[in-house]
Structure 1
Amino acid sequence: MRILSRAPGSRHLTPPTATLPEQDERHAPAWAAALGDQYPFDSHFMEVEAGRMHYADEGPAEAAPMLCVHGNPSWSFLFRRQLQGFAGEMRVIAPDHLGCGLSDQPERWSYRLADHVQNLVRLIDHLDLWNVTLLVHDWGGAIGLGAAIQRPERIGRLVITNTAAFPSNLMPGRIGLCRVPGIGRLAVQGFNAFARAATFMAVERPMPRAVRRAFVQPYARPRSARATWHFVDDIPMDARHPSWETLTAIAAGLAVFQDRANLILWGEKDWCFTPAFREEWERRLPGAECHPIPDAGHYLFEDAPQDIERHLRAFLKAEDVL
């Protein structure tokens, strides 16, 4: 994996210079280098207010872009197959939210939904993306749709996978335990329990050991697991929560995408984003093409990669993107 810098709005790549900040050394940690062929993508970074935001960017500069937005506790590794499988025909971009993957992990930052949204808006503007296929998963739904609502003219179509971008009173017990004061943070951030558990609980098919390690390693130390805890803490269940207003505004803005060609792919055995969430998406995006995947869990990209590839490719061909 190489570290590259990119000028705003440019596909020209330049090697880093000796004057790069000392913190940049963290962008090539040993665990990332050990991924080898599992994550063979060049690393790019964009400055945001609280640090440097990492993103993979593969494919021809002139091709229609696919922007893949991950959730918690994953990172751009989740979309490695899209980065490889579609890069010959599209420009595939997969960022890591601040605090996640190969991005900086600032100690003093809000980690609130609104700020993640603004970082993604900056990336869309920074890369000057148009006719975007926006693929979202988990927290990536609220973040990605939050950014899309601010830049609707740049979004061509949505691909919705096991996510929400609207309030819900459904809180799985396993998530609720992670929010118990004191104990929850100790488990999630102190012992990386959330990321570790997800590699077993979010799939129906056992992950290979190397894949489990790739999902867990970015958050292996308490200081690098801040984001996983803050994402759990930032789930707004009522109007008293700091992110409630942000989420309700995103939900209200979803209607602007009803006239687009949209695709819903759903792992039906997800115990967190259950089929009830899929049904809500179908109500909010009437006319969307929908493919429930019966034997896939929350990490449907791991459980059913061939189904994802087939449905996504057919959808993009029908949209004349491929």
Structure 2
Amino acid sequence: MDDTNTVKHRWIDVDGVGTFYREAGPADAPAILLPHGYPCSSYEFRNFMPLLADGWRLLAPDFPGCGYSDTPEGFVYDFDGYATFLDRFLNRLGIERFALYLHDFGSQIGLRLAIMRPDRIAALIIQNGDIYEDQLGPKYAALQEYFRNPTPEMRAKLGEAITEEGFRDEFLNDVRPELAERIPPDLWKLHWSLMTDRRRKITIGVIAGLKDNLAWFPRYQAYLREHRPPTLIVWGPQDGYMPEGSARAYLRDLPDAELHLLDGGHWLLETNLAEVVALVRDFLPRVWR
């Protein structure tokens, strides 16, 4: 029986890091790398992957310290560390060229990976991932307060949002009530159940590191301007962190990008899955070279 479209759940050793990942599609098909966002894991792509697996090889790893991957002592838990991890994960699987799905903090990690080896990027799919400081939404207010005053006390305050209720707020994130009904509580229940004291400390460090990540925003933008990868932008404007302006800002550096504003929020693969899949299925065959 052909089970190409079935999502496989696998573990692999990536330079000593026990790594969980989801895979679907033929091993010889063009690859799509799916780095996840916060506070999620590869679970966010569970419904997306089988709907594209007839023609693509989809790979969604859990970052170290997230989901079902290990939380090793020696790992560097910052955006550079995660980008290097993605590079080694791809090398371990023998993937040279790929399309890259950019969402949430996975967008910035993914762009660091693209900057490392721009020749590997066949196309970008960008979905609610911010790299324009002047377009940050109102939910960034608490983080921006920390950026202005990064004291130990303010850093500790960041941890107050790392709760089950805080996770729920991250996943519902300003969508209208009828859309919120489409977002399963499994998202915050599962990911909160996987949080440990050590992972919580790591998470606070990653969130605090967003301050230094702002300095990378011009570098991400320069990469886009210089290399002009074929790009599809699918965006949910009902997003307190990354509203419509965050999506339109990409057109400054990628004027040829295809932009689609959908009736959804930050987690489009929960609320607008069929629309996103249709757009990706139309886009990738046209641009893959």
Higher helix share: 2
Shift of the 142–127 alpha-carbon distance from structure 1 to 2, 3 Å rule, reads: same
For 2:190, what is the secondary structure of its paired residue? helix
Deviation at 1:207, TM superposition (A): 4.3
Query: Which residue does 2:205 correspond to in 1?
Result: 230
Amino acid aligned to 1:252: A
2:239 — aligned with what?
270
Alignment partner of 1:85 is 2:85: no
Whole-Å separation in 1 of the counterparts to 2:23 and 2:141: 32
TM-score, normalised by the number of residues in structure 1: 0.75
C-alpha displacement of 1:298? 0.8
Deviates more, 1:262-271 or 1:107-116: 107-116
- 3-state secondary structure, aligned to 2:46: helix
Superposed CA deviations along residues 235-260 of structure 1, whole A, max 9, x for unmatched, are 12xxxx3x4555543333222331x3
Aligned length: 272
Query: Are positions 1:302 and 2:276 aligned together?
Result: no
Q: Describe how 1:111-260 pairs up with structure 2 within 5 A.
A: 111-165=77-131, 167-168=133-134, 170=136, 172-173=138-139, 176=142, 180-188=154-162, 191-201=163-173, 203-204=175-176, 205-207=179-181, 211-220=184-193, 221-223=195-197, 224-236=199-211, 241=212, 243-258=213-228, 260=229
Equivalent residue, structure 2, for 1:319? 287
* Equivalent residues of 1:121, 1:151 under 8 A apart: no
- Once the two structures are TM-superposed, the CA of residue 167 in structure 1 deviates from its matched residue by 4.5
Q: Would you say 1:282 and 2:251 are equivalent positions? A: yes
Tell me how large the CA RMSD over aligned residues is: 2.7
- How far residue 284 of structure 1 moved from its aligned partner, in angstroms, is 1.4
Task: Answer whether contact 1:158 1:263 (CA < 8 A) is retained.
Answer: yes
Are 2:123 and 2:284, in contact at CA under 8 Å, matched by a contact in 1? no
Q: 1:257 to 1:166 in 2, by over 3 A?
A: farther
Distance change in 2, residues 1:305/1:284 (3 Å): same
Q: Is the 8 A contact 2:8 2:22 kept in 1?
A: yes
Q: Distance in 2 between matches of 1:194 and 1:175?
A: 15
- Which range is displaced more, 166-175 or 198-207? 166-175
Structure 1 unmatched ranges of 5 or more: 1-38
Contact 1:117 1:147 in 2 (8 A): yes
Q: CA 1:174–1:152 in structure 2 vs 1: closer, same or farther (change >3 Å)?
A: closer
CA positional deviation for 1:208: 5.5
Q: Which residue pairs with 2:151 in the alignment? A: none
Q: Quickly say closer, same or farther: Cα 1:148–1:174, change in 2 above 3 A.
A: closer
Cα distance in structure 1, aligned partners of 2:174 and 2:28: 36
Percent identical pairs in the alignment equals 26
Matched with 1:33 is: none
C-alpha distance in 2 between matches for 1:73 and 1:175: 18
Structure 2: which 5+ residue stretches go unaligned?
A: 1-5, 147-153
Equivalents in 2 of 1:57, 1:135: separation in Å?
A: 14
Which is worse superposed, 132-141 or 179-188?
Answer: 179-188
Q: Which amino acid aligns with 2:242?
A: F
